[in-house]
Amino acid sequence: MGGRLEGKVAIITGASTGCGPVMAELFVQQGAKVLMAARREELVAEAAARIGENAIAMRADVTSEEDIKEMVDRAMKAWGQVDILLNNAAVPGTDKYVWEQTLENWNATIAVDVTAAMLCSREVLNRSMLERKTGSIINFSSTAGWIGIPRKTHYVTAKAGLRALTKTIALEVGPHGIRCNCLVPGSIDTALWQNYGKRMAGEQGISFEEWREKALSGVPLRTISTPDDIANLALFLASDDSRTITGQSINCDAGAYMVG
């Protein structure tokens, strides 16, 4: 029997580390063919090799229009269509109070976290989805965009803007049979989060375990999302199981975004 994504083709940006490879592996297990794109070519190539022949990797800088065109062109040449786009690429930028903020830091964060999602969406729509009148675009925001975080005006603004972008794309593409939704995770238990926690624990003179318990004390479930949790939610939104869901920003914040 086929999987939930049998016959589908997906592009995943930011696919070298974190949730990217986990989502790619799950999608392939569910029958999809996946193009994994990231700036760190060696890492994304290693991840694709582990997954197998239905995952291919390429280097792509999602702030470059030319790279995005080449990314979609690669998927089209390999498989003739694009059914799913996961705009997973993101950067945190450098933490600065607003009175310290630089235009370089602001623009670099907006470029990856918002503008790239627009450019990637535009390209898959023009190259495949509009003509075939089908597709699912999934953006990845953050609970930071709901609650705000000191010293992250750049990142918070980008993640809040991504929800608005999602809503507007959904309104535009809905009549063409295409959906666009947004996942809004809190913290995710990745190496990046663990390294952050260890640094914060060191600054506070406590163990990582103590910091983790403190950080999760205000979270109802007292737990944190895993990459597998995020991958399963992305699978739901990518599949026909969510065929009547569009324009939504769906919280997945078992672990609320940690400040420190």
Residues catalogued as catalytic: 155
How far, in Å, CA of 133 to CA of 119, rounded?
A: 19
DSSP character at residue 109: H
Task: For residue 153, give both structure tokens.
Answer: 């005006």
Where are the strands (E) in the chain, listed by range?
9-13, 33-38, 55-59, 84-87, 135-140, 178-185, 249-252
How far, in Å, CA of 137 to CA of 207, rounded?
A: 40
User: Could you tell me which residues come within 8 angstroms of residue 221 by beta carbon, excluding any fewer than 6 positions away?
Assistant: 254
Task: For residue 162, give both structure tokens.
Answer: 């991504």
